[in-house]
Amino acid sequence: MTDIIENKSIIERAQATLRHNDRGGYTVPTDRLYPFQWNWDSAFVAMGWATFDVPRAWDEIRLLLRGQWPDGLIPQIVFHVPSDDYFPGPDVWQTNHTPPTSGIPQPPVLATAVRAVLAASPGGAAEIAEIYPRLVANHRWWHTARDPEGTGLVATLHPWESGMDNSPAWDTAMARVPITTTTTIRRRDTSHIDPAMRPKADDYQRFIHLVDLFRGTAWNPAAMYAASPFRMADIGTNAILLRAEQDLLALSTSHGTRAEAAEIAERIQCMKTAQAELWDPKRGIYVSRDLIANANVDVATSAGFLPLYAGIDTHAADLAATLDRWHSRVPWLVPSTDPTDRRFEPMRYWRGPVWAVVNWMIAEGFSKMGQPGKATTIIEATRTLIDQTGLSEYFDPTTGAGLGGETFSWTAAIRLLIEPQLLSPGIR
Ligand code: DGY
């Protein structure tokens, strides 16, 4: 890969990275470390493809939807072809689906991606006719399976669902999860990546304990919800879903029914009201809520800026001040954990590093919610990090060093998305 991309511009390298990670219609996040199709990775990657190959962007979405379950769930991983490079594989999940999939969701960026790809695709009506009903089913799944009491906040039952696996926001709740497993843990990630950049052994014991528990329910949503000792209203997932609902509402006006539009609009109202309750005045940011302990979590993470991305402008100026405070502690924005928090670890996965996809969403939020200067600061930081150190999985906010996997698809996609001249008005 290094040979192929030498001497090319960063844009050519980003495009070459997507092509290199293309497995015939879907894109792996990176070679070996993640050898399958991941849900939210593919949503960002589809937007990246749409900047230079729109038909390929639609393929990405269609192949992800091949993994959708009859009840509407779009799983976190679709195992299109076998690979020994990753644990836990389909033999551990045992979800009994074709193609094999994991049994949990990931942050629902997809409706947002579909709307963006459609905007870049003048002839996209045929694709949308096929995809729109699948999105409707998926959003209904979120509310039925994960908010059975209609509170306006959907629950996350496994840290992997949040995409922010080992965030300190989960520490207290994960302490309730036993470290015993019936599955033998054979981690592969630490043979690809320095263990200092990955979740710890205890984290994996608990991750797999939850998988064992859910497999025992035969992946029944109500049984999983009732059984899980980890049940969080993740501010990241809730904000991303709220934003996706607004994109689905826009799609429904041309591709759906009035009844669907009314249903979506009602959910949006309910979610907005519920998310307002997650504001933490002491930390100046939104936080997640532990639905079992009935308490908001006591740590600020980058996910707490995402209500801006969901169109909630109430605390835009407070969030701008919080960003400034964080910036006074670290040169590179946006660290995934408050850098003044004792749990901040600048190199360890979701406990501190900067992630380009999160930066893109936060910048989009600041830009739309009346803080364009903050959006520019974040986009400039993201561009410099990538251009100076490469298309890494994540970056150290204290040094700017690239960390985790290399030639990473979603980092490539974001680099394409922040290049203004590549964007159609729909993605901008
Ligand atoms: C992993 O295995 O590291 C993933 O984050 C799960 O989605």
Identify the CA nearest to 62 among candidates 25, 18, 89: 25
- For a mutational test of ligand 1's pocket, the pick from 30, 32, 33, 34, i.e. the residue with the most ligand atoms closer than 8 A to its C-beta, is 34
CA distance 423 to 428: 6
* Beta carbons within 8 Å of 351's beta carbon, 6+ residues apart: 166, 167, 168, 336, 337, 343, 344, 345
Residue of 165, 247, 263, 345 with catalytic role: 165
Is residue 81 within 8 A of residue 23, CB to CB? The reply is: yes
Does the reported pTM lie above 0.95? yes
Cβ partners under 8 Å of residue 242, min gap 6: 268, 271, 272, 275, 307, 310, 311, 312
Residue nearest atom 1 in ligand 1 by C-alpha distance: 160
**6 noted as active-site residue:** no
167-220 residue pLDDT tens:
999 999 999 999 999 999 999 999 999 999 999 999 999 999 999 999 999 999
Question: How far, in Å, is the centroid of ligand 1 from the Cα of 419?
Answer: 28
| Distance (Å) from CA 88 to ligand 1 centroid | 9
Query: What are the pLDDT digits (tens) for 70-124?
Result: 999 999 999 999 999 999 999 999 999 999 999 999 999 999 999 999 999 987 8
User: Which residues are near ligand 1 (CB < 6 Å)?
Assistant: 76, 160, 165, 189
CA of residue 33 to ligand 1 center, whole Å: 9
393 included as an active-site residue: yes
Ligand 1 centroid vs 165 CA: distance in angstroms?
A: 7
Residue 144 in tokens: 């039925």
Phi/psi-derived region of residue 300, left when phi > 0, alpha when psi is between -120 and 50, beta in every other case: beta
Question: 22, 147, 189, 393: which is the annotated catalytic residue?
Answer: 393
Task: Pick the atom of ligand 1 nearest to 76's CA.
Answer: 7
pLDDT at 428: 46
Which of 160, 166, 203, 355 most suits a substitution to test ligand 1, by most atoms within 8 Å of the C-beta? 160
244-291 confidence digits (pLDDT tens): 999 999 999 989 999 999 999 999 999 999 999 999 999 999 999 999
Q: Which CATH architecture has domain 2-422?
A: Alpha/alpha barrel (1.50)
- Which DSSP symbol is given to 229? S
How large a percentage of the chain has pLDDT more than 70? 96
